[in-house]
């Protein structure tokens, strides 16, 4: 990112942040001030184990009296990694001191009286949406040598057992039911179940489950919760979701994981004045703990129009 200098214009008028900058998943699971701490980048998420399928396992008296063959229940380990995220900001002395240099229409006040602090605040918001994107769409890269940019596994990469492939079809109740049914068969606990979807798929959900009573003054539906056979499921619009997927997540087992630096999870390092500029950067070492991925489900490859 380029340093902020006099070529970056000041304007009058109220400041409005535009774009899809909401972070509902990150907010639900602890934000930038919660989550778990670890002292290494690779961390365990779950140690899954399973029983054999149920059967009528009967034995005769003679067999039961004999010494039998022991059975062993094996365990596995699901892991993920934290990733380094750094966002630099900087402003030249000339830019810092030129708050009265205005471009465009000059009626009203210029609300930014400290360019460095504005860029610092904007950098934290950018960091948050980048983390949200990583938690949904992050592709796993394991730690290796220092030149490797390790990357956390997001839900898109992490949900494998209960994935229902739509094959380009529209989202439907049948596809959602299949995902929930598959989750139930693989042991999902449905403690705090939330379906995350982008804007188009959110509208599809409202069309599927919506029923608007006749009214002369009010119309439309906004489905935020659905009663299913297994749990009450929240419906959440998440702008950083892939456009062709929906994820059904038990958020009770999902958490951000940090490798703190001197006890700090997310922090800003003010580098002070370097030459004729003021500089600093946001920094965090963060990953996503999805818990046992068998507790979650997804419908992938949906139509997007």
Q: What pLDDT is recorded for position 44?
A: 94
- Domain limits, the chain: 24-45+78-100+112-300
Q: What pLDDT is recorded for position 1?
A: 56
Alpha carbons 113 and 10: distance in angstroms, whole number: 10
In the numeric block, the tokens 């489900």 are attached to: 297
Buried/exposed code over 117-151 (b: 16+ C-beta within 10 A; e: otherwise): ebbbeebeeebbbebbbbbbebebeeeeeeeeebb
85-140: per-residue pLDDT in tens? 999 999 999 999 988 888 988 888 889 999 999 999 999 999 999 999 999 999 99
170-188: per-residue pLDDT in tens? 999 999 999 999 999 999 9
Average pLDDT over residues 262-279: 93
44-63: per-residue pLDDT in tens? 999 988 888 888 989 888 88
184-217: per-residue pLDDT in tens? 999 999 999 999 999 999 999 999 999 877 777 7
Q: Which two tokens stand for residue 252?
A: 């009770």
pLDDT at residue 281 tops 90: yes
Average pLDDT over residues 284-302: 97
Which of the four pLDDT bands, split at 50, 70 and 90, describes residue 16?
Answer: confident
Weakest mean pLDDT among 34-38, 170-174, 289-293, 298-302 = 34-38
pLDDT at residue 298 tops 80: yes
For the range 220-229, what are the long-range contacts, defined as Cβ-Cβ under 8 Å and sequence gap of 24 or more?
A: 226/195, 228/177, 228/180, 228/193, 229/177, 229/180
Kindly report the average pLDDT of the chain as a whole number: 92
């Amino acid at each position: 990112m380029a340093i902020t200098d006099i070529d970056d214009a000041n304007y009058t008028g109220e400041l409005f942040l535009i774009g899809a900058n909401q972070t509902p998943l990150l907010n639900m699971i602890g934000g930038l001030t919660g989550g778990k701490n670890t002292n290494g980048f690779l961390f365990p998420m779950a140690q899954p184990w399973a029983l054999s399928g149920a059967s009528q396992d009967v034995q005769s008296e003679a067999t039961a009296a004999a010494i039998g063959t022991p059975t062993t229940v094996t365990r596995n380990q699901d892991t993920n990694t934290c990733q380094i995220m750094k966002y630099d900001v900087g402003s030249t002395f000339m830019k810092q001191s030129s708050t009265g240099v205005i471009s465009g229409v000059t009626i009203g006040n210029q609300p930014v009286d400290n360019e460095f602090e504005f860029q610092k605040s904007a950098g934290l918001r950018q960091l948050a949406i980048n983390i949200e994107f990583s938690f949904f769409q992050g592709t796993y890269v394991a730690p290796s040598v220092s030149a490797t940019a390790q990357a956390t596994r997001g839900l898109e990469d992490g949900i494998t057992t209960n994935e229902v492939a739509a094959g380009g079809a529209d989202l439907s109740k049948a596809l959602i039911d299949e995902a929930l049914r598959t989750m139930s068969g693989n042991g999902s606990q449905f403690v705090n179940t939330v379906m995350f979807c982008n804007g188009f798929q959110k509208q599809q959900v409202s069309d599927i489950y919506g029923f608007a009573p006749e009214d002369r003054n009010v119309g439309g539906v906004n489905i935020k919760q659905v009663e299913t056979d297994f749990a009450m499921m929240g419906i959440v619009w998440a702008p950083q979701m892939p456009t062709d997927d929906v994820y059904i997540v038990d958020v009770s087992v999902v958490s951000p994981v940090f490798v703190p630096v001197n006890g700090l999870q997310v922090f800003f390092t003010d580098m002070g004045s370097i030459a004729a500029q003021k500089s600093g950067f946001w920094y965090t070492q963060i990953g996503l703990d999805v818990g046992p991925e068998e507790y979650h489900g997804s419908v992938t490859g949906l139509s997007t129009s």
